[in-house]
Amino acid sequence: MKKTLIAATMSAGLFALATVSIDANAYARGHGVVTDGAGNAVAGSAGAFRTPAGATGVRAGKTTRSADGTVQHDSGFKASGPNGSASSNGSLTKSADGSVTENRTTTATNAATGNTYNGSTSYSKDTGVTHSATCSDAAGNAIACPSRK
């Protein structure tokens, strides 16, 4: 496997790192952090892959922290291949008073049947965790979601 590693550091509080593979199982990933010296920071990361069987995927995330203690995080992924596809996106917010809210949506489709799952999960101090899910067949008709085994 051939790999290339690249790293860079700057005095403005930036750190970045990237890794790349050059072969049939290809991937790339990187991350970085920026600070301003006053308690504010942003961090991010991303990655992607490809397999010889034709599967591909990407993911990314970003977290921001403010000097007052607030935090915002956003992330997501998308992948597809011979067996189907899946994607998910979400966010988390922590306010200066410590309260937290979170939201995430997920979709997955089975390539063989065309059946699709759509789910949503959220959290807040007031409501706790809530989750909803719907499933549909290839024609878009509602079907029962599979249960865990």
> Average pLDDT of 78-91?
97
Half-sphere exposure of 29 (CA within 13 A, CB side): 10
User: Please, which pLDDT band fits residue 7 given cuts at 50, 70 and 90?
Assistant: very low
Predicted local distance difference test score (pLDDT) of residue 17: 52
User: Please, which pLDDT band fits residue 111 given cuts at 50, 70 and 90?
Assistant: very high
Sheet holding 142-143, edge to edge: 3-10, 14-21, 26-35, 41-50, 56-65, 71-81, 84-94, 100-110, 116-124, 128-136, 142-143
For residue range 32-79, list pLDDT tens digits in order: 999 999 999 999 999 999 998 889 999 999 999 999 999 999 999 999
Domain residue spans in the chain? 3-143
What is the pTM (predicted TM-score) of this model?
0.80
CA distance 64 to 113: 40
CA distance 129 to 51: 36
